[in-house]
Amino acid sequence: MKPLVGVELKRFVKAYRRTHPVTRQVAALLQSVAYPANVGSIFRLAEAAAMRQLILTGITPLPTNATVAKVARFKMDRVPWRYCDDPVMAVQQLRQEGYHVVALELTEQAVPYHLYAYPQQTCLVVGHEDHGVTKATLAACDGAVFLPMYGKGLSLNVHVALSIVVYHIMHTAT
């Protein structure tokens, strides 16, 4: 077995996309995700997963931040994104656009991410690395999911957790 590179890699990816088209509309709302490296990683995820949009809120650094741009490898130029100061207002706008809004957060009502019934059009909300999604934003969401932790740690990095759930949604039958 040998890794694909160059033209072979491009052909492989193109053929896979042709035979496995994206069938779900997934977006993400970043509620005060503070670390530029996480925001850049989420832009890379958004581009790789053909996410419909990213909404940056609160203190989330914009793509004009040098670290965001470097980590994103300039994928922010290919991902539709917007900034909204108020995350609750952003959730309301997403709902008007037809999105079902789900927080990726540990709450009393949260269910394991793989057991949630995600609608065709879903927006995932992730929060600040230390404080998570605020109570006000959680109250505006339609539901909450979590990733079960089997080790001693209580959580994963925000962009890693988001990646797991995004790809789960993309590969779950509707």
Q: What's the confidence (pLDDT) of residue 174?
A: 64
Q: Which residues pair with 146 in a beta bridge?
A: 112
pTM comes to 0.95
DSSP H or E run through 25: strand 25-31
- Kindly list the distances between the CA atom of residue 72 and the CA atoms of 64, 69, 85, 160, in Å, as whole numbers in the listed order: 11, 5, 22, 14
Taking the C-alpha atoms of residue 91 and residue 124, their distance in angstroms, rounded to an integer, is 10
The amino acid at residue 160 is V
Check if the beta carbon of residue 83 is closer than 8 Å to that of residue 58: no
pLDDT digits (tens, 9 = 90+) for 7-63: 999 999 999 999 999 999 999 999 999 999 999 999 999 999 999 999 999 999 999
Please write the tens of the pLDDT for every residue from 73-90. Answer: 989 999 999 999 999 999
CA distance 83 to 8: 38
Cα 9 → chain centroid: 25
Name residue 130's amino acid: D
Could you give the domains of the chain?
A: 22-170 (3.40.1280.10)
Average predicted confidence (pLDDT) for the chain: 96
Half-sphere exposure of 125 (CA within 13 A, CB side): 33
Which pLDDT score, from 0 to 100, does residue 74 have? 87
